[in-house]
Amino acid sequence: MSQRDYYEILGLSRNASEQDIKKAFRRLAMKYHPDRNPDDAESLAKFKEAKEAHDVLTDARKRSAYDQFGHAGVSGQGGFGGGASDFGAGGFSDIFGDVFGDIFGGRGGRRGARGADLRYDLSLTLEEAVAGKDVKIRIPTTVECHHCGGSGAKPGTRPTECPTCHGMGQVRMQQGFFSIQQTCPECRGSGSVVEEPCRHCRGAGRVKEEKTLSVKVPPGVDTGDRIRIAGEGEVSERGGTPGDLYVQIVVEDHPIFKREDSHLLCEVPISFVTAALGGELQVPTLNGKVVLKIPPGTQTGKLFRMRGKGIKPVRGGPVGDLLCRVVVETPVNLTERQKELLREFEESVSAGGKHHSPQSSSWLDGVKHFFEKMGL
């Protein structure tokens, strides 16, 4: 299996559509195919690499695994294999049969196209995302018509063989040295036609409905994670494979914590007195309270790390940390007496010079030196 990035191999961005992927592969295959480059090992290697990238990225399940886990997610699934013998007995046009078939409307066989995939956005609180949860969701979808059994034909009748493709679901076209298969325009790939449509589904073989599903959300998920439920997408027309349901996780903003991967961040306001003299505070975690010790002379912005109080990642790894950033809060709504005491305190501190305010004194020295250089 190639260890180069599949999107880089095809020259595409990570949000490329399936159509873009197929077009990019077709361009590279035209250039590097062994039939056009006999006895050229470098071209053979590039063709195999492009084919491997195409096979993984045009498969929704494999692409999802690759996007989340990289090559480890498709190890053993997407490789193209050994040498030139892997291309089989077919020639250049045979390799392109499937590619052009996909581009112009689907793969062959006596069945309809695959049903559409569905997406459901599942909103979770931070606590629910971290702990995991079993939820029930209700989704609008299409299901097999119960009256005709999904055939699309009036009960008591059944579909007949398509006269255009003779039941194959595809028609073949010759274009130069390419032999192109495309979906039959008459039966749309099913291989059969309905002469007397079912009145309930109007010949589609499926009807709209809502259904309830149970979804197991694993602990540690984050916004952007997806849970795939195979076969719970839309039912295809007249006998095709159903699509999949993708549950997209959206984690709501939290009033206290912000999440960064496996770490949690929070701001902790402390009083001027606590910052100067030190003290202890109780701070929240997702599992209860912990004591945060504030040393004397703590400045605003100081970051305290509480190891192991973060999140266990959904894909494994160590538990993250809780990072507490202290913010020294300036007192407001002071009485005249309080103001007087602060002025007395300021005079006392000023008399101590750099000993009490090293950062302020250092900054003032820098400003003074700057003005002197400027001749001010």
What distance, in Å, lies between the first and last C-alpha atoms of the chain?
68
Q: pTM of this prediction?
A: 0.53
How far apart are alpha carbons 154 and 201 in whole angstroms? 9
The one-character DSSP state at 299 is P
Which CATH code is given to the segment(s) 1-103? 1.10.287.110
How far apart are alpha carbons 239 and 145 in whole angstroms? 11
How far apart are alpha carbons 279 and 9 in whole angstroms? 58
The answer to whether residues 165 and 173 touch, using CB atoms and an 8 Å cutoff, is: no
Which CATH code is given to the segment(s) 253-330? 2.60.260.20
| Residues listed for the chain | 376
Q: Where in the chain is the domain with CATH 2.60.260.20?
A: 253-330
pLDDT, residue 127, reads 93
* Residue 236, token pair as written in the block: 């295809």
Residue type, 249: I
Q: Where in the chain is the domain with CATH 1.10.287.110?
A: 1-103
pLDDT, residue 248, reads 93
Question: Which residue spans within the chain are E strands per DSSP?
Answer: 118-124, 133-144, 160-161, 170-175, 178-183, 192-193, 206-217, 226-229, 245-251, 258-260, 263-271, 279-285, 288-294, 303-306, 322-329
For residue 152, how many other CB atoms are within 10 A of its CB?
Answer: 26
pLDDT, residue 370, reads 67
Regarding beta strands 258-260 and 245-251, do their DSSP bridges make them parallel or antiparallel, or are they unpaired?
unpaired
How far apart are alpha carbons 86 and 49 in whole angstroms? 13
Give the phi and the psi of residue 350 in degrees, each rounded to 5.
-60, -35
pLDDT, residue 363, reads 61
The answer to whether residues 167 and 176 touch, using CB atoms and an 8 Å cutoff, is: no
Q: Which residues pair with 369 in a beta bridge?
A: none
Rounded to the nearest angstrom, the gap between the alpha carbon of residue 18 and the centroid of all alpha carbons in its chain is 16
The one-character DSSP state at 290 is E
CA-based nearest residue to 142, from 201, 184, 196? 201
How would you write the pLDDT of the chain (376 residues) with one tens digit per residue? 567 889 999 999 988 898 889 989 988 988 888 777 878 889 888 988 999 999 899 988 888 888 877 777 776 543 333 333 333 333 343 344 344 444 333 444 344 567 788 899 999 999 999 999 999 999 887 778 888 877 788 888 888 888 888 777 788 776 655 667 788 888 877 778 888 889 888 887 878 888 889 999 999 999 999 999 988 887 766 556 788 999 999 999 999 999 999 999 999 999 989 998 999 999 999 888 899 999 998 999 999 999 999 999 888 889 999 999 999 998 889 999 999 998 988 888 777 655 666 666 566 667 676 667 776 6
pLDDT, residue 292, reads 92
The answer to whether residues 223 and 249 touch, using CB atoms and an 8 Å cutoff, is: yes
